[in-house]
Amino acid sequence: MTSLDRTVAVLGAGTMGSGIATVAARAGYRTLIHDLDSGRVERGVSTVRGFLGKSVELGKLTEAEGAEAAARINGTTDLKDLAEAGVVIEAIYEDLAAKQELFGELDGIVGKDTLFHTNTSTLSVTAIAAGSSSPERVVGTHYCNPAPLMKLVEVAEGRHTASWAHEATLEFLASVGKTTVVTKDRPGFIVNRFLIPWENSCINALEAGLGTRESIDTAVTGALGHPMGPFRLLDVVGLDIHQQVATRLYEQLRDPRFFPPPMVARMVAAGDLGRKTGRGFYTYDDNRLFGS
Amino acid sequence: MSEIQRVAVLGFGTMGAGIVQVVAQSGREVTVLETENARIEAGLATLRDFLAGGVARGKLTERQRDEVLARVRPVTDVAALAESELVIEAVTERADVKHELLASVAEVVSGDALIVTNTSALSVTDLAGAVPDPHRFAGLHFFNPAPIMKVVEVVRALQSGPGVVDRLVAFVESIGKDPVVVKDRPGFLVNHLLIPYLNDVIAEYDSELASAEDLDTAMRLGLGYKLGPLELLDLIGLDVHKHATESAYEATLDPRFAPPPLLSQMVAAGYHGNKNGRGFRTSEEGSQ
């Protein structure tokens, strides 16, 4: 499926969906973004085109490359338009039943050899695959946010994933310029598996008075070489997102290291969600993300 | 209070040599105490290696290197430390050795000299008990390699006097480092956070979550870390990490600090990481 004559379909026109669509279009694939209403589809398509335009401004793409990639992006609200897709990448909200239902519907629309990728971050690939009548073609491919800039994709097979689907997935991800790591269908895959307890332990250290938000951020960046301290990072991720991911992992693992410390619930209740609300562990004069 | 000028370092091993370099580069004279001349020679060789690296990377001119070396005064007699205003202990991580040495140093230095330990695994409050007036005692925890790592933890012992931490913070800033004031708890701040994370990765590697290379790649690319956890363990030394996590476990009985079985087996088999070419990543890539 690495040939560029196959269409890539992305389900879900949110941040991750439009980011992944950007990756596919930039690599030369005809790309279709699907969402339930046309307003969301239009916003997703214009997010992709906006990103590509920015890349041209920054000199990352030539004018021609940017224009060609932008021309490869289209949107639809009709699943039947995805019939030609060689890869379907599901990036909708984290709801198991909704994801299962989508894959089930697509079974009757796309060809037998079409790959089903799920970008889930906290659900089981195996459980999502159970929604399809051919779970052997379902593979977990977890992108990092922002998808067009982050090289990493975590690849996880479900219980019934076939080796052809796994191999074709690695080829596809290489063809869009991603670096893959192969992991298991376990909660959090690799990065969130270690990041969530790490962030929680930093929050606990803060609440225990082992340091201040500034001293802990300074210690972590200065002594461990992390690009951002834990509290700056939590403010970028969003406290609400951290709470959701941590809670979902805790519910599956029942390991208290994953449960969000009480400070997180207080911050969410107060509306201090991080950069996007202007206040989290730190306060911000503006609400721009990633300094863009 | 006048700024600290005359500094002594106890122990000329890897950490001692790194601290000596940092202090000497700040323009201060440094007296470094070792037990015998052979160990002084070894320490000087380590120091010259560090400095040569600095010159090679263009961080230091040859003239600066010579000036740094000229400020270092190695001694084997504790009486030679009498004029020191700050003594930094960086000898082997054994409480009995440190207690005996700190007591003998306290006898020769003046009453207002500060005495600090660079321990990473022992209690600063316990070591403070080795000196007769422990209000002048605290921890100054440098990270390895000391010349490169920006952060120094200033560890407040229960006995540390009110002005002592402030003087040490000013001293750390004056040698170009970022001070972080921490409590005397097992692992202080950084290792308190780092050790459970590293243990967690070892356990998941053992449970075949992913290959060693993929675990490191995921954490480097996913979070922008300079080093993945398993290559970091190889760099730290598996024996060193095992000692650190066991010490924290004994002090807390917190299972997050219990050495993972695979770590214990690797150390038992003599796999110490980069220093002997056998570790999580070194054997697959050839020794480094």
Residues B88-136: pLDDT tens digits? 999 999 999 999 999 999 999 999 999 999 999 999 999 999 999 999 9
Looking at residue B270, the DSSP 8-state letter turns out to be T
B224 touches A at CB < 8 Å: yes
Q: Is the pLDDT of residue A291 over 70?
A: no
* Cα–Cα distance, A125 to A132 (Å, whole number): 11
pLDDT of residue B3: 86
CB contact under 8 A, B143 and A223: yes
pLDDT of residue A267: 98
CB contact under 8 A, B221 and A154: no
Q: How many CA atoms lie within 13 A of A101 on its CB side?
A: 7
pLDDT of residue A86: 97
pLDDT of residue A3: 63
Q: How confident is the model at residue A288 (pLDDT cuts 50, 70, 90)?
A: low
Sheet with B86-89, strands from edge to edge, namely B72-75, B30-33, B7-10, B86-89, B114-117, B137-142, B151-156, B178-183
* Cα–Cα distance, B213 to B281 (Å, whole number): 7
pLDDT of residue B50: 93
To test the contact with chain A by mutation, choose from B142, B150, B209, B252 the residue with the greatest count of A C-beta atoms within 10 A, namely B209
Identify whether the C-beta of residue B192 lies closer than 8 Å to the C-beta of residue B185. Answer: yes
Give the nearest partner residue to A190 out of B178, B189, B209, using CB atoms.
B209
Q: Taking the CA atoms of chain B, what radius of gyration do you get in angstroms? A: 19
Identify whether the C-beta of residue B210 lies closer than 8 Å to the C-beta of residue A183. Answer: yes
* Cα–Cα distance, B104 to B81 (Å, whole number): 11
Residue A94 CB neighbours (<10 A) = 14
Give the nearest partner residue to A152 out of B180, B211, B222, using CB atoms.
B222
Q: Which of residues 25-64 of B touch A (CB under 8 A)?
A: none
B183 touches A at CB < 8 Å: yes
The rounded percent of chain A whose pLDDT value lies above 90 is: 95
* Residue A111 identity: G
Phi, psi of A10, rounded to the nearest 5 degrees: -115, 125
* Cα–Cα distance, A209 to A184 (Å, whole number): 37
pLDDT of residue A108: 97
Average pLDDT over residues B64-91: 97
The residue to which tokens 């997050």 are assigned: B256
Give the gap in angstroms from C-alpha A220 to the nearest C-alpha of chain B: 7
Q: How confident is the model at residue B247 (pLDDT cuts 50, 70, 90)?
A: very high
Distance (Å) of CA A183 to CA A140, A142, B207, B209, B217: 10, 10, 11, 6, 12
Q: Report DSSP letters for B143-179, one per residue.
A: PSSTTT--EEEEEE-TT--HHHHHHHHHHHHHTT-EE
Give the gap in angstroms from C-alpha A187 to the nearest C-alpha of chain B: 11
Q: Is the pLDDT of residue B171 over 70?
A: yes
Burial of B270 (0-12, 13-18, 19+ CB in 10 A): exposed
> pLDDT (tens digit, 9 = 90+) per residue, A65-103?
999 999 999 999 999 999 999 999 999 999 999 999 999
Residue environment code for A125-140, b if the CB has 16+ CB neighbours within 10 A, otherwise e:
bbbbbbbbebbbbbbb
Phi, psi of A178, rounded to the nearest 5 degrees: -95, 150
Residue A256 CB neighbours (<10 A) = 9
Q: Is the pLDDT of residue B286 over 80?
A: no
CB contact under 8 A, A205 and B193: yes
Average pLDDT over residues A176-197: 98
Residues of B identified as active-site: 120, 141, 153, 191
Q: Look up residue A267 and give its two tokens.
A: 């911050």
Identify whether the C-beta of residue A58 lies closer than 8 Å to the C-beta of residue A31. Answer: no
Beta-strand pair B151-156/B137-142: antiparallel
Q: Look up residue B219 and give its two tokens.
A: 């954490």
Q: Is the pLDDT of residue B4 over 80?
A: yes
CB contact under 8 A, A194 and B183: no
Peptide bond into A146 cis (omega under 30): yes
Q: Which of residues 73-92 of B touch A (CB under 8 A)?
A: none
Give the gap in angstroms from C-alpha A158 to the nearest C-alpha of chain B: 14
pLDDT of residue B237: 95
Looking at residue B224, the DSSP 8-state letter turns out to be -
Give the nearest partner residue to B189 out of A190, A198, A211, using CB atoms.
A211
* Cα–Cα distance, B248 to B161 (Å, whole number): 26
Q: Look up residue A191 and give its two tokens.
A: 């990065």
Beta-strand pair B7-10/A115-118: unpaired
